[in-house]
Chain A
């Protein structure tokens, strides 16, 4: 597992790339920008990436992170890849529900279910 600063780790499992947010709070604009660069870099280096973003450690985020996720999803779909989000804490999930982003993103309960979901044909 590789650690990328700030606040995200990368793991590879079969045909899935798992990026795990390591910070409990994702708020600072500079951190979000750095996270964006890290994630985009991994997407660019892959061919048709199946990316799973793991929120298990995350207890708080701002709407700027939602913007980051939108940009990430657009980039992935441009590259014919797939994106899944998983392990989202109930309070954070509420934010996704309020903003109706539960309609936009594929959200799974666990990394395993995300891997299964993303292994199915587009």
Chain B
């Protein structure tokens, strides 16, 4: 009954876009083991790719000597992922909403929007170089948690 126990894992990988593949596969396999549905798997896959590539590209500025740290936990109730880069960090509030104005016609800037849309919780550390994301399998419990966070 291994799938019932919380799975905690911490991985440090090279800061290159191709490094996302193996870690992502590992997390998605854990989701399958814990009976997350296809929508959950699609959502986590998408957000993990976006967050990891942000860490490599914008956080570590494509510097191959830097690393990206991934901490994750998958339980039958939820998946939690933290991605930390070695960059200076950023202020998420300073990123323009790509759905409006000129942003709609800009090639970039949609990764954060997708992360916020597909995950139930997305929070950054104070420095802005680490993002913590949660997706719940059952959504009703989400409302309480989201309310707590917004307060």
| Number of A-B residue pairs having CB atoms within 8 Å of each other in the complex | 49
**Majority-rule SS of B interface residues:** helix
Q: Are A98 and B114 in contact (CB under 8 A)?
A: yes
**Residue in B53, B98, B114 whose beta carbon sits within 8 Å of that of A95 in the complex:** B114
Q: How large is the interface on B (under 10, 10 to 19, 20 to 34, 35 or more residues)?
A: 20 to 34
Does A28 belong to the interface (CB within 8 Å)?
A: yes
**Residues of A with C-beta under 8 A to B99:** 99-100
Number of interface residues of A (CB under 8 A): 21
Does B107 belong to the interface (CB within 8 Å)?
A: yes
Q: Are B50 and A62 in contact (CB under 8 A)?
A: yes
**Residue in B17, B49, B110 whose beta carbon sits within 8 Å of that of A66 in the complex:** B110
A-B residue pairs in contact (CB < 8 Å), sample of 23: A28-B18, A29-B17, A29-B53, A60-B42, A62-B46, A62-B50, A62-B111, A63-B50, A63-B108, A63-B110, A63-B111, A63-B114, A64-B53, A67-B110, A71-B107, A74-B105, A91-B39, A91-B42, A95-B114, A98-B114, A99-B113, A103-B104, A104-B104
